[in-house]
Chain A
């Protein structure tokens, strides 16, 4: 193949306009729009799932808070009773000493 042949080829190619049709396939836009609408509905469902998760998380937090509060109250109750007993023992010992 000679330079002249390549020049002929390139010359002919340059004359040809690139007429490749840049079009969407038939029905493409319709299907994309339909899917897009579906996706929007899907976003609504996703929002509902998110809300459900938030609610569950909040409920779990409330339960934990109640359990913690109950535990704390229970422990401080023991302290009160414990300090009351100590006071009673000390009072009893003092009274014994006074009686002797």
Chain B
């Protein structure tokens, strides 16, 4: 996204400042805008999802079978959406524990968090993700 913004605004680069400074300023502004937009609209709507992601939500609500391999990418994108609603520490734990498949012991060594803290954060994060998923499934129906 930052690269695209830089590309779109290249004609606005005056050359009076070094290119690196200009690029870093755009990167910082883009990140701040993203944080601000998350703060303004903290809810994930069913309409925000792609068709594939919507299909994954429907599949989760209606079926108990494992998701098909062709749904894996959409599942990943859906999880990325859900992770956006977590605190950074919870996001990190979910990423390491479930997406990267690391053990609690490994996460303890990587992050320095206590075992109990990791489990508590994972539990809370899962609760939040379940709430968001339920909302998505409800808004669809």
A1-27 CB contacts (< 8 Å) to partner B: 1-6, 8-16, 18-19, 24-25
- Of chain B, the residue at the smallest CB distance from A35 is B13
Partner of B19, one of A5, A9, A36: A36
Q: Is the CB–CB distance between B133 and A12 below 8 Å?
A: no
Q: Which residues of B contact A13 (CB under 8 A)?
A: 72, 75-76, 78-79, 98-99
Interface residues on B, range: 35 or more
B119 interface residue per 8 A CB criterion: no
Instruction: Return B55 CB to nearest CB of chain A, in Å.
Output: 12
Instruction: Return A25 CB to nearest CB of chain B, in Å.
Output: 5
B60 interface residue per 8 A CB criterion: yes
B31 interface residue per 8 A CB criterion: no
Instruction: Return B90 CB to nearest CB of chain A, in Å.
Output: 14
Against A, the Cβ 8 Å flags (1 = close, 0 = not) of B114-141 are 0000000000001001100110010000
Q: How far is the CA of A4 from the CA of B79 in the complex (A)?
A: 15
Q: Is the CB–CB distance between A15 and B69 below 8 Å?
A: yes
Most buried by A among B4, B56, B60, B101: B60
Q: Count the A residues whose beta carbon is within 8 Å of the partner chain — how many? A: 27
Number of A-B contacts (CB under 8 A): 83
Q: How far is the CA of A87 from the CA of B104 in the complex (A)?
A: 106
B37 interface residue per 8 A CB criterion: no
A80 interface residue per 8 A CB criterion: no
Q: Is the CB–CB distance between A1 and B73 below 8 Å?
A: no
Q: How far is the CA of A32 from the CA of B66 in the complex (A)?
A: 47
- Of chain B, the residue at the smallest CB distance from A45 is B15
Q: Is the CB–CB distance between B15 and A1 below 8 Å?
A: no
- Given A16-B72, A42-B16, are A10 and B98 neighbors across the interface (CB < 8 Å)? yes
Q: How far is the CA of A3 from the CA of B130 in the complex (A)?
A: 7
The 4 closest A-B pairs by CB, nearest first: A16-B72, A12-B75, A12-B67, A16-B76
- Interface residue ranges, A against B (CB under 8 Å): 1-6, 8-16, 18-19, 24-25, 28, 31-32, 35-36, 38-39, 42
